[in-house]
Amino acid sequence: MGQFDGKIAVVTGGNAGIGLATAKRLAAHGAHVFITGRREAELDKAAAEIGNATAVAGDVSVAADVDRLYERVRERGDGLDVVFANAGINPLASLEELTEETHDAIFDVNVKGVFLTVRKALPLLNDGASIVLTGSTAGSGGAAGMSAYGASKAAVRAYARAWTSELAPRGIRVNVVSPGPVATPLWDTAFGDRAEEMITSVAAGIPARRPGDPGEVAAVVAFLASSQSSFVYGANVYVDGGLGQI
C-alpha cells in the first residue's frame, strides 16, 4: 500500500518543475492529485503524465479561479489531505529596474496566491491534513535582482509560523520547503538563453557542486505531507545543496 492511498492532494503550479515532480510522487504513492496552473495545454499534458490526477486551469492570485479549483475537490467528496502551495514567479530586476507592476505581480502570485490557496482550502481540509508552502533560500538571503522575490518568500515563511499556531488544534501541520538552485523552467523564464550558464555558475559555489533535481525537492515535500513527519510543525526545510548553510 502507498503512504497516500485514499488521500486527496492539491498542488498549485503543478504543470512543471517542482510542482509536477511532487504531483507525480504523491500520485505514485496512492493520492489523487488536483493540479492547477495558468497554461491549460501544459496542465492537461502534466495530468496525463501523472496519471491519477485532475487538471483545473486557473491563476492562484484570482479568487474565483481558486474557488473553481476547490469546487472540483468538493465534488469528489473526500475532503482534502494535502495542500502544496507551490505556484510562484521570479522576474529578475534590480531595485532601479523594478517597476510597480512587476513588484505587484510577484506579490500577487507568491503571497496572495499562497494566502488564497490555503485560506480557501480550510472548509475542505480533513483533520490531520498537511500544508506545505514553497519558500526559497532567497527568503533569507540577499541576492541582487531578487529583492521582491526574496521579500515574497520571507512573507511565506511568516505565514507558515502563524498558520502553524492557528491550525494546530485541528492537527493540521504547516511547513515550508525552501529550494536552492533547482533545474526548473523558472530559470529559463528568469535568464532566457543564459539559464544554463547561470545555474552552472551558482552551483559551482555550493557544496553539492550541482543544481538540484525537482524530484529531490519533491521527496522532501512528500515527507512533510506524510505521517512520517507527524512531529514536524512550522519548520523551514532547506533543500539547497548547502547554499544557505555555509
For the chain, which residues make up each domain, given as ranges?
8-238
Q: Is the pTM of this model over 0.85?
A: yes
Confidence of residue 184 (pLDDT cuts 50, 70, 90): confident
Confidence of residue 1 (pLDDT cuts 50, 70, 90): low
pLDDT, tens digit, for every residue of 91-144? Answer: 989 999 999 999 999 999 999 999 999 999 999 999 999 999 999 999 998 888
Domain 8-238 classification at class level: alpha beta
- By annotation, the residues acting in catalysis are 149
Q: Report CA-CA distances (Å) from 14 to 55, 94, 113, 163.
A: 9, 29, 14, 23
